[in-house]
Amino acid sequence: MSSAIEAVSTRSEKRDVNWSLWLRQVGAIFRLEIEKNFLGRRAILIYLIALLPLFPLLILALVTPPGNEWRDFNTYSTIYAILYNGLILRTVVFFGSAWIFMNLFRGELVDRSLHYYFLSAVRREVLVVGKYVSGLVTSIVLFTGTTVVAMLLLYVPHFYSQSLRYFTEGRGLVQILTYAGITMLACVGYGAFFLVVGLFIRNPIIPALLLYGWEWLNFLLPPLLKKISVIHYLNSLVPVQISEGPFAVVAEPTPAWIAIPSMLVVTLLVLILAAYRIRHMEIRYGSD
Amino acid sequence: MSSPEQLIIFDNVSKFYGEILGVNRVNLQIAPGITSLVGPNGAGKSTLMNLMTGLLRPTRGSITILGIPTDQPEQLFRKVGYCTQFDSFPRGMTGREFLNSFLLVHGFDRKRANELSLVALERVNLVEAADRKVAGYSKGMRQRIRLAQSIAHEPAVLILDEPLNGLDPMVRAETIALFRKLASEGLHLIISSHILHEVDMMSDRVVLLNNGYIVAEGNIHGVRDEMEEHPMQILIRCDEPAKLAAYVFAQNHVVEARLHDDRRGLFVKTRDADRFYLLLNRAVAEGEVNVESVAPVDDDLSAVYQYLIGTTGGSA
């Protein structure tokens, strides 16, 4: 029998062939994984998490609470900022990313099906990229959707015509795009973290909860320690800053031109660590 | 002498799981053809196979498959297919989707992947069930779709961990015929099995393992010949077995001569089978006896297994 994937002779040609082969393989892995992420049994929890903020907003759309602030259009950007910070960013994106990215490898170890990838003629680094990209697309589609729909659901039922102008002509469009961008960045950062946690630790719930606690207590930390967290960089980017309470230690937000590249560089380093781990990983389902 | 590019080479390979021994000091060179790994549960058969395919990393030593180190899956699995014992599949796929998906991961384009899937499905007789969900397959069908997945990319080395498990007798025979055909095409087939008569029937050579060590390897008759501490047992069917017993018993190399229960045959145990056959020829030439048939009784894998490992092995 002959192999259909043949190496080529010259070095430059080989590099070209490898790149196109790797891209094709990333595409194949991506398609397999995206189907699992959206249609698999584990997807149900992700949909529930993504819909979580929409349930209270639906109730709010039907019943306006008492209090003047709920009748003032200008306070809605603050209300959304609170909702986004507390519920969407810290809960939906955090736990949603945890579930999606931890399951990319850990889920297949539990299902005992990871070996099919390991027995394919694919660099394990390519496997990491394919799986990470699939997780990223899944989380971005779902949670950016949540971010946008939540904002529209907050504004539109109460101030229909004002909202239309706000989102088409006013600064609403910039805000909605900024929040969507922050959600994407959160998926990038949390995704890489949870991917690695799922690879190194058999029960990833514990490190996830530790990170969750660290992120929640971020407002109490001294400025230097604040910078060792994802939430600090994300909060630095939100268009409407909210008070973190009387006990909060105030720190200067990190400028976007530092926050975004920093998060991307750290993500890249974490992915390199994941690739190293996968490269040396053994399959022993009994012990996993 | 074969070059490393034609061989599977284990160079002083050991694998420990913490303090537990998987295999120890394995030195092997495997040429094309069917090589069977035989041994009781826990002997190290699956460990050797997982080491060969990079699913496990050796604690010591190195392994190359046709010159490729096992820590380079991107090169290795262009040449190697592995049908594991793990009876699990990605969820929700049909047999055809299962094969296609991993051929695409290999890097084949969609058209070629479809062609290769179809060929593999035909080889394992699963074309009719190809578009049914794997989750609804019987155990035998799941075994066959795993086999199809391991051969679909047309590897030069095929590693099969208990590939006949769960197959009915008809499919077993077809599968063994497929293995023989693949071997005749020049493939390396490494097969683990505990069904000794099937191993005996299909293997070119065997590797006997026990407690993580290789206890014997090579052509089964060659292995048997080297076991001098266990004299060869031969059954001679003839008209006068008692006379033949008296004739041969005077020889030093004959350690036992015993009449068959039906009194029409003689069991002889000899330390030198070649000299015994010469002696028997002389007896026939001198008209001492008329011989109907001569057959070694313990020149098969079951006997070798029993002598070396101390149990009777498995049966179908």
For the stretch B68-83, pLDDT in tens is: 999 999 999 999 999 9
Residue A221 · residue A249 · CB < 8 Å: yes
Q: Which of A90-94, A157-161, B188-192 has the lowest mean pLDDT?
A: A157-161
Considering chain A, what is the average pLDDT of its residues?
Answer: 88
Please give the pLDDT value at position A194: 95
pLDDT at A69 over 90: no
**pLDDT tens digits for B265-291?**
899 888 888 888 888 888 888 888 888
B182: nearest CA partner in chain A:
A1
A122: nearest CA partner in chain B:
B74
Please give the pLDDT value at position B313: 53
What is the CB neighbour count within 10 angstroms for residue B311?
9
Q: What separation, in Å, do the N-terminal and C-terminal C-alpha atoms of chain B show?
A: 37
Contact B91 A36 (CB under 8 A): yes
- The average pLDDT across B238-253 equals 85
Q: Which residue has the higher pLDDT, B109 or A2?
A: B109
- B107-124 in b/e form (b: 16+ CB < 10 A) is bbeeebbbebbbebbebb
Contact A24 B107 (CB under 8 A): yes
Nearest to A111 among B81, B88, B116 (CB): B88
Q: What percentage of chain B reaches a pLDDT higher than 70?
A: 96
pLDDT at A130 over 70: yes
Contact A32 B106 (CB under 8 A): no
What is the CB neighbour count within 10 angstroms for residue A60?
17
**pLDDT tens digits for A211-247?**
999 998 888 888 888 888 899 899 899 998 887 777 7
Contact B153 A115 (CB under 8 A): no
pLDDT at B301 over 80: no
Per DSSP, B20 falls in state: E
DSSP for B294-311, written as a single string: EEESS-SHHHHHHHHHSS
A55, A176, A244, B97, B107 from B130: Cα distances, Å: 43, 48, 59, 8, 22
pLDDT at B169 over 70: yes
Contact A121 B116 (CB under 8 A): no
Considering chain B, what is the average pLDDT of its residues?
Answer: 88
Residue B199 · residue B191 · CB < 8 Å: yes
Residue B247 · residue B291 · CB < 8 Å: no
Please give the pLDDT value at position B61: 96
- The average pLDDT across A168-188 equals 93
Highest mean pLDDT among A95-99, B234-238, B269-273, B278-282: A95-99
Please give the pLDDT value at position A6: 46
CA distance B32 to chain A (A): 13
Cα separation, A100 vs A186, in Å, equals 13
Q: Which of A56-65, A75-84, A144-153, B133-142 has the lowest mean pLDDT?
A: A56-65
Please give the pLDDT value at position A17: 55
CA distance A113 to chain B (A): 6
User: Predicted ipTM?
Assistant: 0.85
Nearest to A117 among B54, B75, B105 (CB): B105
pLDDT at A286 over 70: no
pLDDT tier for residue B95 given thresholds of 50, 70 and 90: very high
pLDDT at A11 over 50: no
pLDDT tier for residue A13 given thresholds of 50, 70 and 90: very low
Reported pTM: 0.86
Nearest to B55 among A120, A123, A283 (CB): A283
